Amino acid sequence: MRGNIAILGASYHQLPLIERAKELGYCTHVFAWECGDVGETAADYFHPISTIEKDQILEKCREIGIVGICSIASDVALITCNYVADKLGLVGNSMESTLKSTNKHFMRKAFEENGDPSPRSIVVDANTDLSTVVLDYPAIVKPTDRSGSRGVNKITSPDALPDAVAMALEQSFEKRAVVEEFVEGQEYSVEYISYEGVHTFLAVTFKFTTGAPRFIESGHFQPAPISKELESRIRAVVEHALDSLEIKYGASCTEVKVDDKGNIKLIEVCPRMGGDCIGSDLVKYSTGYDYVGMVAQIACGEKPDFTKIVDPIPAESVFIFTQEDLDEFYRMQREEPERILRVVDLDLDLLGNATDSSNRAGCYVIKSNRTTL
């Protein structure tokens, strides 16, 4: 046994990390609010402590004697991960880096100070006189500290600003929101792994969304069908942004948009692997690398192993929103079962009711046969 590893979160998003850490020889201690999630039983030990309870988790980790702490699908959990790592002298990003990379307002400030290509952004709260918010429309409004499209709205005029801000503030933990110039273009996410400040590129993901107003992600495809020249320019932008945020360790997923003229703008950087099966599944299948295993290795002070564990193939994640989506999933199960790599989640009670990424009706990962997009 390599030692005890703490994993924050017990949902199906964390299951690949729990399972892989066990395969690598770690004893898994999972922390989460107790609600019957799959990770509660998949872990070697489950501790019913919410991931936001930093000091309670710190105390328990001291008692256990962990060699590393990590999470792969929660920005909120990452704050606790780095807090505990800092207190125990384990591998993690600094708390200053954590603030800049988990709060959209401080992230935009860092980008502005370091010359990163980023849209103009204004922070607001319940006391802000919204008549003083002056920027070009359309605009995007979102909480400063949430992910998964929660509280996100695209608006086309100042008249819609009060309602959009109210929705974002309701979702925000710190009750603040950002109002940003809307960036046109195709959206991609860019997956990296960092170790001792060296950033290693893994993949670019082509992203499908529901579009305005909330831009809920509906699918992802790797490797993205882009030129080597564009990939090179995207990589340069992302690596500079990672340095601006002082990210030195672990996975990262950077969202960018590229317009018709090839201009690149940063949407945001998440100091974790991409959710929605991007990091846990697509990177492995499209590159062959053990991305999930690398997260555990780095958290425990080990150099990441870049040995390929599968032969690379094009892959995509597909999300179920409607009955039509569900019918296509059932058709594939009947007629092309060999293409289905993993059925991640299925909750038919949510069919047709998606308001953000947390309440889509299902997700599955497939071998892709796309020739065009």
pLDDT band at residue 74 under the 50/70/90 scheme? confident
Mean pLDDT of 335-360: 89
Q: What is the pLDDT of residue 53?
A: 97
Distance, CA of 241 to CA of 233 (rounded, Å): 13
**Model confidence at 148, in pLDDT bands (50, 70, 90)?**
low
pLDDT given at position 311:
97
Let me know: does 28 contact 21? Beta carbons within 8 Å.
yes
The per-residue pLDDT for 161 is 95
What CA dihedral angle connects 298, 246, 105 and 217, to 10 degrees? -40
The pLDDT of residue 49: 98
Task: State mean pLDDT over 22-27.
Answer: 98
Under 8 Å between Cβ of 7 and 17? yes
pLDDT in tens, 263-316: 999 999 999 998 889 999 999 999 999 999 999 999 999 999 999 999 999 999
pLDDT at 31 over 80: yes
CA distances from 47 to 33, 55, 281 (A): 8, 14, 26
Residue 99 has pLDDT above 80, yes or no: yes
- Please give the C-alpha separations between residue 183 and each of 117, 179, 180, 186, in angstroms, as whole numbers: 11, 12, 9, 9
Task: Answer whether residue 75 shows pLDDT above 90.
Answer: no
Asked if the model's pLDDT at residue 356 lies above 80, the reply is: no
Q: What is the pLDDT of residues 151-202, one digit of tens each?
A: 899 999 999 999 999 999 999 999 999 999 999 999 999 999 999 999 999 9
Please give the average per-residue pLDDT across 306-332, as a whole number. Answer: 96
